[in-house]
Each structure stands twice: as C-alpha cells, then as structure tokens.
Amino acid sequence: MAPSADTSFAAHSSAQFASYEKDRQLTSQDTIYATSNGVPMPHPYETQRVGENGPLLLQDFHLIDLLSHFDRERIPERVVHAKGSGAHGFFECTNPIPELTQADIFSTKGKKCPVTARFSTVGGESGSHDCARDPRGFSVKFRTEDGNWDMVANNTPVFFLRDPAKFPHFIHTQKRDPATHLTHADDSTMFWDYLSQNPESIHQVMILMGDRGIPDGYRFMHGYSGHTLKFVNKQGDWVYTQVHFKSQQGTKFITQEDSANYSPDYSQKDLFEAIERGEYPKWDVSIQTMTSKQSEEVWRDQGINVFDLTHVWPQGQFPLTKVGEFTLNENARNYFAEVEQVAFNPSHMIPGIEPSADPVLQSRLFSYADTHRHRLGVNYQQLPVNAPRTAYKFGNFQRDGQMAFFNQGSRPNYLSSIEPIKFKARTVDLDKTHGQFVGDAVTFLSEIQPADFNAPRALWQRVFDESARERFINNVSGKMELCKDKEILKRQIAIFREVDDDIAKRLEKATGIKGYDGISSLSFNGTHNGMTKDSKLMTANGITLAKGTNLGHNNGAPCGNGTHLHSNGVNGANGIRV
C-alpha cells in the first residue's frame, strides 16, 4: 500500500504505531526484503568487496547492519525463571465479590479482561530441560480497566524461605558451582548444604521431591499466590487473601524415571500445540480469606503465620471461593516479543488489592521492576505485551531513557499549573488499610519452630499414599547420592526426622547414612533454632545478640500491638486523601 500523501511527522508516527498489529499478522509473502532503514535489497546473501577475491568494503551497510544487529540479538536472560512458555487469553468473573474488594475485575458477573500468562522452571537456564525437578513459575498479567494486575505465582503454595535476604543465596545454590560449573543434576552438594542449614525449607522440599516436583507440562498444574495479599472494599474494610489458580484439566505428573524420555521443550510443545488444536486450557481463579483477628488466632493457636511464605492456610478452616476463570486461547505470534519480553511485577496491583507485610513479598515489590529495567530497559512497560489497557488516557512524568517510543508529546514533564494534568481521587484509604506501625528499627531473622513441621507432616501422613511415599524416598535418596559431604546429609535426615521418623528411617536405609536424632542438638548458619534448649545453638551462625535483645519468637506474625492498629486519614496536597 502506498504511503500517505501527508508528509507530516504526525502522519508518519500514526502509521508506525497503528501498524504494530498489522505487522504481527503479516506473512513473508506480504513483505519486501530491505535493510533496517527500509531500503530494498535484491538478495540477503550479497556482499560488497574489491573484485571477486578482494577484501570486503566497509561501505556495505547491508552486511554491517546485519552483523551488528546479530551481535546484539540476545538480552540478559532472567536470573530465575529463564526457561518458560506463554500464551494469551482472557479472564471472566463468574462470582463477583464487591463485599471483599473494590477491584473492578471482580465487580460484575461476566466482566472480562485480556490476560497473558507465562509458565517456567525456576533454576534452569533458558536452554534447560522442561522436565527438571523444580518448582514452576505461574504468572498472569490481568489487563484491567484500572491498570495491570500481575499475579507472580508458583505452582506450589509455599517456597523455600521466608527471610528475603536468603533469596540470592538460595538461587545461587540452584545454579552452577562457581568452580566446577556443574549444576546440582551432577553435584547436589550446594543444594543440600543450603537446605540442611535452613530447615524452614522442608515444606517446599516435601512438595518438590514428591509427585508434584515434575508436573506433566504446564496445562496440568495449579498456581498459588503463596504470599498473602489484602483485598479492600469500597468501605475501606479489608481481609487477608490467598489466590489460587486451579487447573480445569486436573493435575498430572511425570516420574523421575520417565522424565528422561521427554524432549527438552516438552512443556512448550504441549502448551503451544494444545492451543493450536483448539484445546484451550482453563483455570479457576479462587481465593481464601482471613480477617485480621483470625490471623492472630491461627498464629496463637496453630502457629500459622500469614506473613510466612513457608506456611499454608488449611482449606478446611479457610475454604476456597471461586471468583472467576481464565482461558488461554491464543499463542504468541512471536516468542521473543510476547513471551521473552513480558515482564511481571508483584507491585503491579490495582485499587482493591494491596500487599501484606510478608517480608519476602515486600522485597519482591522492589526487585522485579529493578530486574526488568536491567533486562529490558527503563521503558519496558511501553512494550506492547506489557502496556496497560485502561478505560482512560493516562500520563505521568516518567520521560526519556532508552527506547522511549511513547514520550508523552509536548506535555509538561513536571507538575505544571500552566497545563495541569488531571487526577482521580484515591479509592483506598491507605491509613486504614495498612494500619499504624510503631516500633524501633530492628534486625530480624526468623527461627525454626515445631509448628513449621505440621504441614509437611500432614503431607507425608495424610496426602501421600504408600506409592507416593516410595517415589519420594527414591527421589530424595537419588539426589543425596550426588552430595559429596555426608555431614550435610546427616543434618538433612535430621530435618526429615522432625517431619516423621518414618522418612528418616527409610532414607537411612536407602543411603546407608545415619542421620542425627533431630535438630535440637544442631545449630544452623541461616536460621535461629527455636527447638533447642542449648543457648549456644539457638542463634544462627552462633552470632551474639545485642544486649537486651531476645529472639523474635513471634517470627514476624501479625499481632494487635502494631500490625492491626488503625489511624485516621488526613487530607493532603492537591486535595487528595492520604
């Protein structure tokens, strides 16, 4: 089609940005080969040189352009969740919950919004095997009328840690050894060393080494927020919330023995081809809720901490309520543009959804946006796959930087009285929602307590059948065979013994290693030991606490002396309520 006769820059830019979807749909037969500046070339293999046997010419822009771009094709891969698959679809609200949240996405039955989902392994590199025994990332971007809501979840309801500073250390143990460059598929020493020094990881270890450790692709697994969120209604009342994605396809798993028979890209292939066949995968979106009073009671009576990423909420006490479902019905046209460049951020929340004081969640609110700016650039949210789709035109004062496609025209880049920007009143009373925190600055590190073993014990005793227990022991003992330090394994078996002595005895028989009798005689370099009476073993790494300081036996759980105090809001600048 011939260019417009309009020679203005406005016409040019309008054509460029309007053509994104057209370009996405074009076939090769619809395009003419050209250099990056749009000049047609008769053949992509041609080069300019001095005669048929002379050197190349630097003036050959076509070749220089080709090689220079090729040299820069790769961007930094995700430091975690590097290997992944994604697709597009839509969410539909089936059971509105305006009494719980003012989030527009849950306001009306039949309310829909587009979504993009990405699934991934955690520890492996971008070329690693899809059938690795590893947790799976499960992220969904809901493009609501009030902005993007990103649920950055996993396929397990818990994780290996609850202290945020441990995360880089833990992930390093899931990567390659700095000396040998081997992964824990060949040498599991680092893997077990971390776990044996941080026993709060045991709940996730039980799941990882069980049948759910290798899900059968991405369609047959659930997703969990893991973190506790807050849902806030229009009256400013709030409840703690956990979000669950339940696969309507059911769940399936792959055994350790069978995993070697699958292709490295099995999960990608399965998801893509299912959607191409019209077998669109669906997930129910369900929630658990808990009041602030209930959160204090379950900590006091059951040792369950809603701010603890290693704990779960019993569904018998806090049943699931379905609020909607999402369907993936469209594959990416271009994997790099729509899956590799998609960026999920836990801090992307919409009015009616707020973070809790979960310390790992709080750290992720910063870290994800930071890594996106490193990986994709400061203007990563201008990429089509990341851009919001709101019911209003929005602007701000974030300008310039690399790849500023939408730089907000000539509008002022400061809060101007000459050309003022419009404002919408805040719909969430932050004072009422977040409470009033009063206290000294403290250093905090959690401690292991008996209640930390309750949920893992329930898995072994009530969820696993005998066949699942046998597979679990085979998976763990097989992984232990790759550990070079038997002292590490003695400690790990002691941690398993706190879950159930039956696990320890079976592992001792399978490995030939006698573990310690329990953890009361052990100290840990990463966790305070609340299960010992020996003061020399209580503190992590044997550190000496400051005079007058005691261990935080509350483990950061919510309590009425700060977490749930309320204060009255006040009016601030520009007439907004703060």
SS3 string, 507-545, reads HHHHHCCCCCCCCCCCCCCCCEECCCCCHHHHCHHHCCC
- Write down the domain spans for the chain: 26-71, 84-185+210-382
- What the block records as the tokens of 402 is 């690399």
What pLDDT shows up at residue 569? 39
Q: Are 89 and 327 in contact (CB under 8 A)?
A: yes
User: Is-catalytic flag, 154?
Assistant: yes
The dihedral built from the CA positions of residue 268, 270, 273 and 274, taken in this order, carries a sign that is negative
Sorted by sequence, the CB contacts under 8 Å of residue 399 that are 6+ apart come out as 407, 408, 413
Below-70 pLDDT ranges, the chain: 1-5, 7-18, 434-440, 545-553, 560-578
Q: Are 268 and 391 in contact (CB under 8 A)?
A: no
* C-alpha span between 334 and 340 (Å, rounded): 9
Q: Is 224 annotated as a binding residue?
A: no
Please give the CATH architecture assigned to the domain spanning 26-71.
Answer: Irregular (4.10)
Q: How many CA atoms lie within 13 A of 313 on its CB side?
A: 27
- Annotated catalytic residue: which of 88, 129, 154, 379? 154
Domains 26-71 and 84-185+210-382 share a fold: no
| Residue 293, phi then psi, degrees to nearest 5 | -65, -45
For helices 486-499 and 466-480, angle between their N-to-C axes, nearest 10 degrees: 160
What pLDDT shows up at residue 398? 81
**In 10 A of CB 325, how many CB atoms?**
19
* C-alpha span between 309 and 532 (Å, rounded): 23
- Annotated catalytic residue: which of 81, 88, 203, 372? 81
Q: How many CA atoms lie within 13 A of 393 on its CB side?
A: 4
What pLDDT shows up at residue 4? 56
CB neighbour class for 551 (10 Å; exposed up to 12, middle 13-18, buried from 19): middle
What pLDDT shows up at residue 442? 75
What pLDDT shows up at residue 2? 53
Q: Are 91 and 115 in contact (CB under 8 A)?
A: yes
Alpha helix (H) residue ranges in 209-291: 256-259, 266-276
Task: Indicate the fold that domain 84-185+210-382 takes in CATH.
Answer: Catalase HpII,  Chain A, domain 1 (2.40.180)
**In 10 A of CB 213, how many CB atoms?**
25
What pLDDT shows up at residue 24? 79
What pLDDT shows up at residue 549? 55
What pLDDT shows up at residue 426? 80
